[in-house]
Structure 1
Amino acid sequence: MTTAEAAQPEKPTKPGIREVLRALKNRKSAFMALFGFTSGLPFALFLGTLYAWLSEAEVDLETMGVFSLIGLAYAFQFIWSPLVDKVDIPGLRKLGKRKQWIAPMQLTLGIILVTLSLLEPKTQLGWFSLLAGIGALASATQDIAINAWRIDVADEEATLDMLSTIYQMGFRLASLFGGALGLIIAARIGWPETYMIFGASVLAVGIAGLFAPDNDRDRATPITSEAEIEELYAVGEVRPEVRRHYLWVVVGLWVWALTILGIFMVRALGGYVPMMGVLDLGTFALDPNWLLGMFPLNESGRPDPTEFTAKMGPLIIAATIVIPASIAGVLHRRKANGDDVITANDSTVRASSAVDHLYRALLAPLVEFVGRIGWPLILILALVLTYRICDAIWGTFAYPFYLGELGYTNDEVAFASKFFGIGAIIAGLALGGYMLTVLGRMLTLTLGALLAALTNLLYADMAVGGANMQAASDMIGFTWLISTFAPFGSDALPRLTFTIMFENLAIGIAGAAYIAWLSSIVSKKYAAVQYALLSSLTLLVGTLGRGALGEMIENQGYFDVFVLTTLIGLVAVVLCLAEWYRQSVMGTDDVGPEPKVEAAQ
């Protein structure tokens, strides 16, 4: 047996409920649920519930629109993921490679939420905006570290598939608590008290997270050790001067992207955040619009977050992902072909230590990923871009469809989509986790894609009256159930709830499989950067596609849109089958390439 074969994890001999129960008893699973909850709660509080508080405080819509820019922290989190992956926080490394970032971010979030509860939104809007922006940044940063922690600590008992499922369940529960239940609590005790409770909850989890397990053997060892730097100068590696030239191109592109985002935030928040107006680049001779490629401004003269993401987003993706990935491919090819590589007789002059560390942070994760995957990386990127595109785009138009097109009331939509819908997603995640243990990762991924695609046809039926959904709901007794136990609602409520239930069950199954698959294809060595890059593409593609989909709704109606999203979903099914075939050929089906790669090193 080879070393690589010995390192290959054994597949469960008793798949099914026993494996699920065994994983749930592992303490890593408990902390994964807590981390998933603290990952989802700030997302719900900063990008959803906060708008309800601002509306009650009579903050105008234009000002509330400015708050939507904090969502960019989640969409572009990959830009600072190398920092999380390769930088130690002074004095906190002993907590663990990932926990040194998770714990302080959670404590920061708890403090910010508690502080927000002490402010009055309308009269102290500047500080409110600043704290919300910092909170979103801390939330996105903890997400980077939590996703990497999940990949790092997975083992044969607390498997990657189960940890990914538990993470999603914690995230969705947090959405329910921070969303629907947050509104209910606030209606009874007030918004400041509600945010005080949520802040205290995050602080409690942050303290508990200090005791989470970690896979670091020597926590005093820096993240990037001297041994890892020495690898860059082994025989057969690309010469340092060649690496350096490509590195500076990548550094320039990432600096440009950070500058664009920084200018955008200053321009957008300049009139709201204390002292931010002093930094407004409009006071300088250099016109910031030139730097931003003339991104569009709204009626008040401020940059529009949605338009910025739609127009500048592709350029930022190209600068931070596409071009650097192409450069990584060039470096890998040069190494494979023996072009400009270090030889045994070579007396190569070393690059500076800072340059080596920068290379390890920015380019090495991409070189490893491109080198390990090869040309099938195109397949993987295509699957990432299409697998969750329907959900990512559709979310923006859900309420206009329910309330405007179908004519449901706010209470009916809240009942169907929040309470019943979140429960259905959690049930779908549980079912997806079970399917992962019984059917395997790739079969579950493919079935999830198929189910998610076909549920768009349920909404297509709703768009033309919902006769089929009503008949199906009547046939299985679901109409009687909702009509009997729902405290309100029209005769049409059961078919809406029925439709949302099946869609969310499919979303849960697909979500569990997708996160597990995404986690399996990244390297543990560069988990933070590689996972952040791939997951950010999922977020960005939804934003970039909403404009076109909104125009299609205006011109052709919802029915045609749901047919189109079904077809896109079926493309994802085909790509899943191709990825399944690739993994079976490579001998990595349901296990992932990582153990073989690490064993070979």
Structure 2
Amino acid sequence: MSQAVRPEARAGDAAAKKPPYRGWAGIRRAFGTPSALTMAVLGFGCGLPFLPIASMTLSTRLRDSGLDLGSIGLISLASFFYLLKFLWAPLIDRYVFAPLGPLGRRRSWLLAAQLGVAAGLAALAFTRPELGVAPLVGWVLFTSFAGATQDSVVDAYRIEIAPVQAQAALAATYTLGYRIGLILGGAGALYLAEFADWKAAYLGMAALMALPLLATLLSREPAAPEATVQRRIDFIGAFWQPFSSFFASNGWALGLALLVFVGLFKFPDQVIGVMAGPFYLDSGYTKADIATVSKLYGIWAGIGGAFLGGLCVAAFGFRKMLFVAALGVALSNLAFLLMAQYPSQIWAFYAAITADNVSQGFAGTVLVAFMSSLTDRNFTATQFALLVSLANLPGKFAGGVSGYVVQASSYSAFFVLSALTVVPTLLLLAWLWPRIREAPPPTG
């Protein structure tokens, strides 16, 4: 059976042999591990380059350089590696990055990826889009590949460095670091560009990568898998064995049910994502209101929810929290009815964003803990990257037609319908419930 079914069967490292305490002892053990601080710094390194190479900071720079909107949209596609990182994750699972081999399988790839991100950001500092976009696109591709590789290795490192009972806590501290990285890579870079120039902004981001680089050098390499499967994997097997291993561990029926559950878990939240911005404007809120409530206050509400999820999983285990999180994600959509009923009222905006972002952060941490328990440590990077993609794709596709649903009904009806999409998730969880086993707390 997989770790989700029998989590005690695969220990992350020596710490996994300790009894899986619940309650306050579980919280203390999960958040007290040195790996929690390491994950915060590594999360910072993952969040820092995302906006400068894949989103707002890059597009703002290009527009500031005089590029037309069509070109900016096309150039943004150069960051597509973040969506495809599962394609080369098997190589990260199978091989050590040879030039840095003494660091071990995980840290060698992690240091190489971080050096790549720092070098790419520094190179982007010296590119001049107004003189031609080809060099810029090339460096965005390079940095995107390095950043996506860094994400995959950090996920694998987190799963392998600590037992399943600590995964939610590590996900919470990772989220804190990641969000701080997003703030510095977004607002921080824009402030530097405003008061200095874009060269200083990108060089500043490159310099900040020294923090996760240092964390990688000072951290320990996860223990090698107890199984000897990895030694028997050839190049071709590195790509198909992660799939065969998952279904061999769970069986086809349970394996498919687990995958469908992961895909549906955050569906109610994701389906409304595209309509959020238009809804805010149509409800009478200004762009300043949206920036303050959604983009500033909302970030910290999400971090609070992530830590709440980590505390609850450490105290009560992830099985019960799967139910709480799934229900919370759906019911939080109903909070937007306050904004529909009280348009332009700032208190309604704060109430809705609090409910939505806290539930998102909570559910994200719980889902990470659950998906971490599903992975085979011989294929950690590959299986987790695939699960992350699966968790995001269904809602994204449905979000593409969400505008037509609103046009055919109303915002209020849309939010109610989005909340009701949790029903299949809860029915599937009821079927999975007796099949999800967690190690009991110690007695006596």
- Separation in 1, partners of 2:115, 2:10: 41
Which segments of 5 or more consecutive residues in structure 1 lack a partner in the other structure?
230-355, 468-490, 592-601
Judged with a 3 Å threshold, the aligned counterparts in structure 2 of structure 1 residues 548 and 11 are, in CA distance, closer, same or farther, namely: farther
| Partner secondary structure for residue 336 of structure 2 | helix
- Separation in 2, partners of 1:126, 1:76: 22
- Separation in 2, partners of 1:24, 1:188: 39
- Separation in 2, partners of 1:527, 1:77: 13
Residue 401 of structure 1 corresponds to 279
Read off the aligned partner of 1:533 and give its amino acid letter.
L
| Partner secondary structure for residue 97 of structure 2 | coil
Residue 268 of structure 1 corresponds to none
Residue 107 of structure 2 corresponds to 99
Contact 2:121-2:206 at 8 Å conserved across structures: yes
Judged with a 3 Å threshold, the aligned counterparts in structure 2 of structure 1 residues 188 and 22 are, in CA distance, closer, same or farther, namely: farther
Residue 420 of structure 1 corresponds to 297
- Separation in 2, partners of 1:492, 1:5: 52
Judged with a 3 Å threshold, the aligned counterparts in structure 2 of structure 1 residues 520 and 227 are, in CA distance, closer, same or farther, namely: closer
| Partner secondary structure for residue 88 of structure 1 | coil
Residue 227 (structure 1) shift = 8.1
Q: TM-score, normalised by structure 1?
A: 0.66
The counterpart of 1:168, out of the listed 142, 167, 175, is 175
| Partner secondary structure for residue 55 of structure 1 | helix
Residue 77 (structure 1) shift = 1.5
- Separation in 2, partners of 1:527, 1:505: 28
Judged with a 3 Å threshold, the aligned counterparts in structure 2 of structure 1 residues 379 and 528 are, in CA distance, closer, same or farther, namely: same
Residue 438 (structure 1) shift = 1.5
Residue 136 of structure 1 corresponds to 144
* Residue 208 (str. 1) matches residue 208 (str. 2): no
* Residue 465 (str. 1) matches residue 341 (str. 2): yes
| Partner secondary structure for residue 408 of structure 1 | coil
The counterpart of 1:40, out of the listed 47, 52, 67, is 47
- Percent sequence identity is 29
Give the alignment's Cα RMSD to 1 decimal: 2.7
- Separation in 2, partners of 1:446, 1:548: 27
Residue 372 (structure 1) shift = 0.8
The counterpart of 2:347, out of the listed 494, 509, 521, is 494
Judged with a 3 Å threshold, the aligned counterparts in structure 2 of structure 1 residues 201 and 558 are, in CA distance, closer, same or farther, namely: same
Judged with a 3 Å threshold, the aligned counterparts in structure 2 of structure 1 residues 170 and 5 are, in CA distance, closer, same or farther, namely: closer
**What does the per-residue CA deviation read over 1:285-319, in whole Å, with 9 as the maximum and x for residues that have no partner?**
xxxxxxxxxxxxxxxxxxxxxxxxxxxxxxxxxxx
The counterpart of 1:376, out of the listed 254, 276, 279, is 254
**What does the per-residue CA deviation read over 1:428-460, in whole Å, with 9 as the maximum and x for residues that have no partner?**
111111111122111112111111100111113
Residue 269 of structure 2 corresponds to 391
Residue 205 of structure 2 corresponds to 198
Residue 518 of structure 1 corresponds to 371
Contact 1:387-1:572 at 8 Å conserved across structures: yes
| Partner secondary structure for residue 214 of structure 1 | coil
Residue 194 (structure 1) shift = 2.1
Contact 1:449-1:572 at 8 Å conserved across structures: yes
**What does the per-residue CA deviation read over 1:388-410, in whole Å, with 9 as the maximum and x for residues that have no partner?**
2233343333222222x123222
* Residue 589 (str. 1) matches residue 438 (str. 2): yes
Residue 572 of structure 1 corresponds to 425
Contact 2:51-2:182 at 8 Å conserved across structures: yes
Aligned length: 427
**What does the per-residue CA deviation read over 1:549-593, in whole Å, with 9 as the maximum and x for residues that have no partner?**
23323333322322222112343233333333221xxxx2268xx
- Separation in 2, partners of 1:465, 1:225: 60
Read off the aligned partner of 2:55 and give its amino acid letter.
L
Looking at CA atoms only, which structure, 1 or 2, has the larger radius of gyration? 1
The correspondence of residues 54-133 of structure 1 with structure 2, limited to 5 A, is 54-133=62-141
Which segments of 5 or more consecutive residues in structure 2 lack a partner in the other structure?
1-7
Residue 447 of structure 1 corresponds to 324
- Separation in 2, partners of 1:211, 1:494: 46
| Partner secondary structure for residue 515 of structure 1 | helix
Greater relative contact order: 1 or 2 (C-alpha under 8 angstroms, separation 6 or more)? Answer: 2
| Structure 1 stretches of at least 4 aligned residues deviating more than 4 Å after TM superposition | 4-11, 223-227
Q: TM-score, normalised by structure 2?
A: 0.88
Residue 406 of structure 2 corresponds to 553
